Chains A and B, each alone.
Chain A
């Protein structure tokens, strides 16, 4: 029996970027917030031993403990879904800061095209450009409406970058200048410029210079130490909720965080949520926390799972296309890429940063003509200098064995002499790609796991093939000695490394029949529930999702404040 606690105005489930931003904005406005987090407390001092590739990257120290909870996956509706028993394709965050502690920090805005994708695609290419199975829809908000929220997020995080002409208009320049354009990135810059493209430095949350944000939080500049993705930043240079929004919320005295507390479900009364039930993961004690407003701000997977396990909202049905919870789960495609090997050049590849990169804008979104192409949207063609850590990076020309004498000598030979020209492609929703509850597998607390039904589509395969060709041409222009291009998108594999840019499942829109939340991320079917995160994206763009997630979190925080004053649906 759960111990019932005194009611609070707002309870937030998950203390990553979404939960951290909501907590900071509400507490600054004087509203008390209880933040519930399944993982542990974190601070920058914890990362003194942070440059440990084995512990943090390969033993996934900062990630969700899969022994407690995972997802199940199947490629098609007629397969039996099986649990992801260990990490492979995506790494889900855990603890204070969530995935905002271990991310790389690549912080883009989505394009004006993204927010009105259905309307704009039909306007330009007619109604039959994309088959009806691809359930693209407008987001119920425009880029111009999103712009101020992007601006707020970028100023809070201190994003370092430069304005790109082809992208949506900015009210202000980036708060800090771009990251260092290193000799490695200059190789890409030179080749793409001579091909007629306009490369730009990727917007970065790694801080190119010391910065004080509007909340008065000061952070030091990036040291290019090469330990970003999978790692916490011991300098606080990488924007992380733990060094930005969470301390601001705590400073108000109005945020109470409860760590090691895993929310099992929301409680409800009719079409309103009344609070949450959570378990202390160390002691096993259960608690009920009643609240006026419940903010579901965990990762994409648990946002959908909590609603489904609580019977809140109508589950999506792929047979009828009706229902919304679990709908339009999307991902990204990055299988089109080229590895370029240079016989006589050694680069300082051991150095780097998670968002130290350069990219061309010409193949993103609808910034190129798709009239004769079998896909819509596009890819960022890009090159990063992450820091080539040695367990993860043993890059050899194709045809080299994966072990033995030749593997060893080749992996050492090229260790500092390869560059990867990557493409990160958008992901269009498909009616058969969705999230629901697994009928068999449960988590450590007895709650059903989330089941993902997902595979890449024809649209994805066409896009990957096309983009691979672009990366190959760039490698040729670079004058690489060996050029290896991958251009086939294999079936989705839960253990193959791709990225952690999962989106959808609780999508936003203007119509309650086709979306779960409105443009304030308020649930149509439960007005005191706000579901915040990339779960709200009706499709996934070719850009990293955090910038858009952050912007939407600021908008949701505004909506929650309005709701607390006047109640009712905000749209």
Chain B
């Protein structure tokens, strides 16, 4: 583990590179696969010493929905790091990373949202006035990947390391630059990427767990939101707060 990772308050043991690979199931019988995976281990982060990963924990594969259909493992890890800065773990409960917001984003970008299939895409794309909404030809899936790339470029230029290796405070500085439209970006403003990242993070924390985020409905539990229930006739008349355990849409199946 690098010094940076050790010192970073947000990269605890669970988010170390070794555990990432372990949890991502990129090993076969404890042996790291060669080829692309070997280079992933060695080349991307020269300061990190590859360690022999331990066996996959049984819990890691318990939910078959926690797997990637869009991101590369690197992109996934970076997304996990970024969403955690948007919505970090605290005394209230888990952050976006442990709520599987990055899995949610992976699944969204792989589907029709990633392809902007319900957006108007015809005609010329002119530079808009501030009141005219986004006029970018870049698809959501590409905007997100471009954003990750530019986030790394920014991190290297300003902090001489990849985004995931930065101190949390520096990660925040980088994200703030993107949110304010101050970071370099091809084809649109960096704020467009940041807005997409923020929007998808909040959705990944609070959307029904059927979409892959909001793990175990903990996003809802933190704010005492009961999820999807059929009736609140009784609760709505109560003078005091009525706390209900969250229920997902799967509770309506079979009705």
Contacts and interface: CB of A to CB of B under 8 A. Distances in A.
B129 A79 contact: yes
Interface residues of A, number: 63
Contacts of A224: 231-233, 236
A180 B122 CA distance: 47
Contacts of B224: 346, 350, 415-416
Given A51-B249, A82-B126, A223-B233, A394 B131 contact: no
Contacts of B118: 59-60, 65-67, 86
A262 to B, nearest CB: 15
Interface string B65-103: 000000000000000000001111011100100000000
Interface stretch (B17-25, B152-160, B238-246): B238-246
Interface stretch (B37-45, B181-189, B200-208): B200-208
At the interface, is chain B mostly helix, strand, loop or mixed? loop
Contacts of A2: none
A322 interface: no
Interface stretch (A7-15, A365-373, A397-405, A459-467): A397-405
A416 B231 CA distance: 18
B255 interface: yes
A221 to B, nearest CB: 8
B208 A408 contact: no
A85 B179 contact: no
Given A85-B135, A408-B88, A492-B131, A440 B124 contact: yes
A176 to B, nearest CB: 16
Interface stretch (B28-36, B48-56, B143-151, B215-223): B215-223
Contact of A225 (B232, B237, B238, B240): B232
Given A48-B255, A51-B252, A403-B198, A409 B131 contact: no
Contacts of A52: 208, 210, 228, 249
Contacts of A70: 120
B236 A83 contact: no
A404 B86 contact: yes
B232 A350 contact: yes
B132 interface: yes
In the complex, which range does the number of interface residues on chain B fall in? 35 or more
B230 interface: yes
B8 interface: no
A195 interface: no
A568 interface: no
A435 to B, nearest CB: 17
A74 B201 CA distance: 31
A495 interface: yes
Contacts of B128: 82
Contact of A442 (B122, B202, B211): B122
A444 B122 contact: yes
Name which of A69, A385, A403 has the most chain B CB atoms within 10 A of its CB. A403
A402 B198 contact: yes
Interface in A402-447: 402-405, 407-409, 411-412, 415-416, 440-444
A280 to B, nearest CB: 20
Interface in A476-505: 491-495
Contacts of A350: 224-226, 232, 235
Residue among A54, A60, A226, A491 facing the most chain B CB atoms (10 A cut-off): A54
Contact of A180 (B88, B117, B236): B236
Contact of A403 (B179, B223, B255): B179
B121 interface: yes
B133 A88 contact: yes
Nearest to B197: A403
A49 interface: yes
B130 interface: yes
Contact of B236 (A49, A385, A391): A385
A40 interface: no
A53 B236 contact: no
Contacts of B232: 223-226, 348, 350-352
B123 interface: yes
16 contacts: A49-B249, A52-B228, A54-B203, A67-B121, A69-B120, A82-B129, A86-B134, A183-B237, A348-B235, A352-B236, A394-B202, A403-B86, A404-B172, A493-B130, A493-B131, A494-B131
Interface of A: 48-49, 51-54, 58-60, 65-67, 69-70, 73-75, 79-80, 82-86, 88, 180, 182-183, 223-226, 346-348, 350-352, 385, 390-391, 394, 402-405, 407-409, 411-412, 415-416, 440-444, 491-495
